[in-house]
């Protein structure tokens, strides 16, 4: 059996790459993709632990996560389309009018 | 029947109310005011006669009208009393007061606010009567403050004149210093005895104790730090002394009285010669038991009195204004009275108070007559030769001047001589010498004044002098008669006043020293003549703006005397100006910048803090994301580290 720690390390690496993507990239679509990456990294960790403990609970939780991710993508893309229609840009730095 | 004595202060008070609310025209104002004070005088005479009929131990009529302060520990009745000391003071106040009211009818004729004047004058008489008739310290203080108020109102009566309103404020402020000490003294009396009543009085059926007969209980008690204890009696009496210093214009608080001459002359006669300023002497005499229990304070009293007499007497020599001479003279004679109190010669002090009240009022009213007759001239350098044009004024003024100088057998001689004789028989040599010199100086400046006003040629022809009307000269004549026969109250072989005051003051009559009396009279006559002689001889050299003829004998000391030993200037430099600078600093700098800065600063502080906090809201999503990523890391870190 492949040691669980390999999966966890992979998951952590994926999660870190996702976080960096959210913080660094300016294109809104790339930010969404990075968020998806973070969610999938979490899924991977959950499945790995489920396999280790021989318990189905982890995989059930993954179902929830996938569903939520899908809903979130729908809403997020709708927002992005709405913003693009008024501002004609997908650069997250450009939507900073809500400033103090 | 005790309520009868309430009429004495009540009648002038009714006059005050009528003048304030009901009367609008000059004639009824003067008549009502004078009539009510004269009626009060009559009631006082009747009450005093009734008092004399009582046996000596019972010569004290008390009457309480309501229970003023009723708070368990502090009980103060609103009550008055009539005992021998009160009776003589009340007779002086109402008698001389009535004459001055009548005189004012003539003097203030035509003044636009004359009704208000009579209202104030009546209020003053009421308050002065409360002062002398009060049966506890708080009633005395009520009257004390009341006469201070009326003094302020009357000095500043012609308030359009800056000097008058300034003088009124000065009088009030300087008096206040004394009043602060007086209040502290009252507190000390209350703390020591638990009561402010002079004698036991029955209030609402309950007998309240008095403190004057219980003074021996506190002799020996000390207060203060262990390395400098003060006798309790010394503390109380010293505070009361400072209070009397303010009200009775003693050194160093006499500076208000010469400036108070800016008020109408009858006011100067009543308030600043006969009655209000004697309030301090009365208060010290009433509290004689306290002062007698404190020899330390008594020596202070004696020296303050003697020095004041000397300083003021010398200042009076160099004055050119007719009323300022009399003002300094009043301060000087008050010094005599206070010195007499300091020697324990309270009967002599009261005797001098009474005679001085009569002849000083006479002199002031005479001065008023001169001022009116010379068309408002007050500078003596512009007068001269008025005895032909104003004979009644001249003769009555001469009687007053002689009484003040102490020429036998006028009233002032007997009272002043009694003070000097007491000093001599009790071996108070330094004060005796100071007071004796002062009486010589007194005679000198009165001779000077009489010469400058009434002798020689008229030096200023801008006015046509005329005698005053009868309503003004008749009070002068009455007072002159009083000045002539007034000495009879306490002749060395009759002692009528000493006996009358025995139930209160328990004094024995002093011995009459013929040698002293002769020397004093000879000195008085000689110095008066010298004063008269110098100023009639050099009359031609007197003109406005020029120097006094005596200048060549005295040199620059003369300027010092004219400025009353520069005491006013000292106060101006040392006290008034720093206060004004402090005031303008507080108003101009501390208040707008400091206080307002503090209050506004709180707002500004929050504004600036808000601006700093604002910088976090950049609007950049990525910044927000970074911040909560960092937050998550920190929280997770905590959880991981601390959950071991």
Q: Name which of B615, B621, B626 is nearest A95 (Cβ-Cβ).
A: B621
Residue B600 clears pLDDT 80, i.e. is over it = yes
The whole-number average pLDDT for the span B302-323 is 91
Distance of CA B88 to the CA centre of its chain: 18
Q: Please tell me the predicted confidence (pLDDT) of residue B138.
A: 93
Q: Please tell me the predicted confidence (pLDDT) of residue B568.
A: 85
Please write the tens of the pLDDT for every residue from B542-585.
Answer: 777 777 777 777 777 787 888 878 888 888 889 889 999 999 99
Residue B619 clears pLDDT 90, i.e. is over it = no
Most A CBs within 10 Å, among B609, B625, B636, to test the A interface: B625
Q: Which of helix, strand or coil describes residue B223?
A: strand
Q: Please tell me the predicted confidence (pLDDT) of residue B59.
A: 82
Mean pLDDT of chain B: 89
Greatest C-alpha distance within chain B: 121
Q: Please tell me the predicted confidence (pLDDT) of residue B445.
A: 92
CA distances from B480 to A82, B362, B368, B448, B465 (A): 113, 7, 15, 20, 22
SS (H, E, C) B555-567: CCHHHHHHCCCCH
Q: Residue B91 class from Cβ within 10 Å (0-12 exposed, 13-18 middle, 19+ buried)?
A: middle
Distance of CA B368 to the CA centre of its chain: 20
Task: Give me the CATH code for the A4-88 domain, please.
Answer: 1.10.287.3510
For chain A, what is the radius of gyration of the CA atoms? 17
Please write the tens of the pLDDT for every residue from B359-408.
Answer: 999 999 999 999 998 888 888 888 888 888 889 999 999 999 999 998 87
Per-residue pLDDT in tens (0 to 9) along chain A, 100 residues: 789 999 999 999 999 999 999 999 999 999 999 999 999 999 999 999 999 999 999 999 999 999 999 999 999 999 999 999 998 988 888 888 888 6
CB–CB contacts below 8 A, A to B? 33
User: Which of the residue ranges B217-226, B417-426, B444-453, B623-632 would you say has the lowest mean pLDDT?
Assistant: B217-226
What confidence tier does B237 reach under pLDDT thresholds 50, 70, 90?
very high
B629 to chain A: which residues are within 8 Å by CB?
Answer: 19, 22-23
Q: How far apart are CA B445 and CA A79, in angstroms?
A: 108
Percent of chain B with pLDDT over 70: 99
Percent of chain B with pLDDT over 90: 48
Q: Please tell me the predicted confidence (pLDDT) of residue B90.
A: 93
Please write the tens of the pLDDT for every residue from B269-305.
Answer: 988 777 888 889 999 999 998 998 888 899 999 999 9
So where are chain B's domains? 301-562, 568-642
So where are chain A's domains? 4-88
Q: Please tell me the predicted confidence (pLDDT) of residue B267.
A: 92
Name the pTM for this structure. Answer: 0.82
Most A CBs within 10 Å, among B621, B630, B633, to test the A interface: B621
Cβ of A96 and B626 within 8 Å?
no
* ipTM score for this prediction: 0.88
Nearest to B88 by CA among B415, B384, B501: B501
Cβ of A93 and B622 within 8 Å?
yes
Residue B509 clears pLDDT 90, i.e. is over it = no
């Amino acid at each position: 059996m492949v040691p669980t720690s390999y999966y966890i390390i992979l998951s952590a690496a994926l999660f870190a790459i996702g976080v960096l993507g959210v913080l660094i990239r300016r294109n809104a679509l790339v930010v969404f993709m990075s968020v998806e990456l973070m969610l999938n990294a979490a899924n991977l960790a959950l499945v790995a632990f489920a396999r280790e403990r021989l318990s189905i609970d982890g995989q059930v939780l993954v179902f929830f996560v996938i569903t939520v991710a899908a809903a979130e993508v729908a809403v997020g893309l709708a927002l992005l389309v709405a913003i693009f229609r008024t501002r004609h840009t997908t650069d997250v730095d450009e939507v900073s009018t809500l400033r103090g | 029947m005790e309520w009868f004595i309430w009429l004495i202060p009540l009648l002038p008070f009714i006059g005050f109310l009528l003048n304030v609310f009901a009367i609008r025209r000059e004639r009824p104002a003067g008549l009502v005011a004078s009539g009510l004070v004269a009626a009060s005088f009559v009631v006082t005479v009747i009450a005093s006669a009734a008092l004399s009929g009582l046996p000596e131990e019972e010569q004290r009529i008390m009457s309480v009208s309501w229970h003023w302060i009723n708070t368990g520990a502090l009980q103060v009745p609103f009550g008055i009393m009539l005992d021998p000391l009160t009776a003589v003071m009340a007779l002086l106040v109402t008698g001389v007061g009535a004459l001055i009211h009548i005189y004012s009818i003539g003097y203030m004729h035509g003044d636009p606010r004359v009704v208000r004047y009579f209202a104030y004058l009546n209020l003053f008489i009421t308050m002065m009567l409360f002062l002398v008739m009060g049966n506890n310290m708080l009633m005395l203080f009520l009257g004390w403050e009341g006469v201070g108020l009326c003094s302020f109102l009357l000095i500043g009566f012609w308030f359009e004149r800056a000097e008058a309103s300034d003088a009124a404020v000065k009088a009030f402020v300087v008096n206040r210093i004394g009043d602060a000490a007086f209040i502290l003294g009252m507190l000390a009396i209350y703390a020591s005895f638990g009561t402010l009543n002079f004698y036991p009085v029955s209030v609402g059926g309950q007998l309240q104790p008095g403190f004057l007969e219980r003074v021996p209980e506190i002799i020996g008690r000390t207060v203060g730090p262990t390395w400098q204890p003060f006798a309790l009696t010394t503390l109380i009496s010293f505070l009361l002394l400072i209070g009397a210093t303010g009200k009775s214009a003693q050194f160093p608080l006499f500076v208000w009285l010469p400036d108070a001459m800016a008020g109408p002359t009858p006011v100067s006669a009543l308030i600043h010669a006969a009655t209000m300023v004697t309030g301090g002497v009365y208060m010290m005499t009433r509290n004689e038991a306290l002062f007698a229990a404190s020899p330390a304070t008594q020596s202070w009293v004696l020296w303050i009195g003697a020095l004041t007499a000397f300083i003021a007497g010398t200042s009076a020599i160099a004055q050119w204004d007719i009323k300022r001479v009399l003002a300094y003279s009043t301060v000087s004679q008050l010094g005599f009275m206070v010195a007499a109190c300091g020697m324990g010669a309270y009967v002599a002090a009261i005797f001098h108070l009474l005679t001085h009240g009569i002849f000083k009022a006479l002199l002031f009213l005479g001065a008023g007559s001169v001022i009116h007759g010379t068309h408002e001239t007050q500078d003596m350098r512009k007068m001269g030769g008025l005895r032909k044009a104003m004979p009644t004024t001249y003769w009555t003024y001469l009687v007053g001047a002689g009484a003040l100088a102490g020429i036998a057998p006028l009233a002032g001689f007997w009272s002043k001589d009694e003070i000097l004789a007491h000093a001599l028989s009790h071996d108070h040599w330094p004060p005796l010498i100071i007071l004796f010199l002062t009486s010589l100086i007194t005679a000198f400046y009165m001779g000077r004044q009489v010469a400058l006003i009434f002798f020689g040629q008229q030096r200023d022809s801008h006015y046509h002098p005329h005698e005053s009307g009868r309503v003004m000269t008749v009070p002068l004549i009455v007072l002159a008669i009083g000045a002539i026969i007034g000495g009879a109250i306490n002749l060395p072989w009759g002692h009528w006043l000493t006996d009358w005051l025995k139930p209160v003051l328990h004094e024995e009559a002093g011995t009459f020293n013929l040698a002293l009396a002769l020397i004093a009279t000879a000195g008085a006559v000689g110095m008066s003549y010298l004063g008269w002689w110098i100023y009639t001889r050099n009359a031609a050299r007197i003109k406005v703006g020029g120097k006094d003829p005596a200048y060549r004998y005295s040199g620059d000391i003369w300027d010092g005397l004219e400025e009353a030993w520069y005491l006013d200037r000292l106060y101006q430099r040392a006290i008034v100006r720093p206060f004004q600078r402090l005031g303008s600093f507080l108003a101009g700098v501390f208040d707008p910048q400091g206080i307002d800065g503090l209050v506004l600063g709180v707002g500004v502080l929050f504004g600036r803090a808000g601006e700093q906090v604002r910088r976090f809201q950049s609007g950049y999503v990525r910044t927000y994301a970074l911040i909560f990523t960092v937050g998550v890391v920190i929280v997770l870190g905590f959880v991981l580290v601390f959950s071991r």
